[in-house]
Amino acid sequence: RFKLSRTRVKQVLGKLLHCAEYGAELGWLLDAEDESILVVDSDRRVKEFANGDRLPVLNGIALDLTVEQVFSWLSL
Q: Tell me what pLDDT residue 26 has.
A: 98
Asked if the model's pLDDT at residue 2 lies above 90, the reply is no
Q: Tell me what pLDDT residue 64 has.
A: 96
Cβ pair 38, 48 in contact under 8 A: yes
What amino acid occupies position 34? D
Does residue 1 lie in a domain region? Answer: no
Sign of CA dihedral 62, 64, 67, 68: negative
Does residue 58 lie in a domain region? Answer: yes
CATH number at residue 26: 3.90.1570.10
How many domains, in total, are found in the chain?
A: 1
Question: Over the stretch 13-33, which tens digit does the pLDDT of each residue have?
Answer: 999 999 999 999 999 999 988
Average pLDDT of the chain?
92
Question: Over the stretch 41-51, which tens digit does the pLDDT of each residue have?
Answer: 999 999 999 99
| pTM of the model as a whole | 0.88
